[in-house]
Structures are given as C-alpha cells and as structure tokens.
Structure 1
C-alpha cells in the first residue's frame, strides 16, 4: 500500500498539472466530470459512514438488548444525516 501511495500520488499530481493547461472550467464536459466525481466521492463517504462505521455498533450486544436504545440510536443517525444534508445545501 505504501508503494502504491508513493507512486500514484506524484503521478496524479503531475497528471493534474498537465491537464490544467487544457482544462476549460465552464465547458459542459468539465461540469459533467466534476459532478460525477463529486457524486461518487460523496457516495463513498456516505457508505463508509453508514455501513462500515455504524453497522458494527448497531449489532453490538448493548443495542440488541434494548429496543429503546435502538430507537434512540436510529433517531440520532437520522438527525445527524439530516443535519449534514442541511449544511450541504449551503456549501
């Protein structure tokens, strides 16, 4: 992993510098590309937050033993997700 990070990071930086000369910021292709990349990165972040991080906590013995605690946890997740969505509207 360290090797691939060490190799791909400078390659990505040099590719970005090379493409920046031909990049037209307001062209339809650039806008679609930026939109697709933003959507895919946001989807990955949502997946990581909801599935990888929270799933192990929701299947723990403490939450499985209490319905009241499960409801509170799900409400907290929904409020947090709603709050982040509301903040994203202004960003």
Structure 2
C-alpha cells in the first residue's frame, strides 16, 4: 500500500513490515547512534546501510530493540523508495508527529 505515486516522492509509515522490507531491500540493519541511549533503550534510531552512512558511532541493534524504541516514542519513518530518476533511494528519517515544530 505504501507506494510512491511518482519516483522521488517521500512516503511516511509506522508499519513494521514496510520498514523492514525497505531496509532489507537496501541491505540495511537496524541501528542506533552510540552515546544517545536513554533509560536502557536505544536513543537516535538509524540504519546501517552499507556504503551510505558510515560512522564509527553507528551501533547495530536488533529489530525488537529498534521497534520498541520506535513505538515507545510514537515515531514515523519518512522514506523514499526511488530517486526522481528511478534509481533506488536510501533517504530516510524518523520523526515524531507529536513534536510542535514537526
């Protein structure tokens, strides 16, 4: 269901299956940014995508850990399936619909 109407369009979802499929299609693993953890849970959520966001601070975590934090913080994933030219896109970010500046 979560499909772009045209290449390059950003989509938004909280559906775990859609998020896992998007990540799997890119070889991405669920991750957090080391040092941002709070109260024994992951902090900033991200993905470890080979060749995309390389950083020594990215720490891979399990899907259970990732989704626990994602759901607890009531986040959405904004992502793209394709760039405007039709190539696969690695663009994503998490956002909270509860933030006043969001």
Greater RCO (Cα-Cα under 8 Å, separation 6 or more) = 2
Q: Which has the larger radius of gyration?
A: 1
- TM-score bucket of the superposed structures, by smaller chain: under 0.3
Could you tell me the TM-score, scaled by structure 2's length?
0.22
Could you tell me the TM-score, scaled by structure 1's length?
0.24
Structure with more strand by fraction: 2
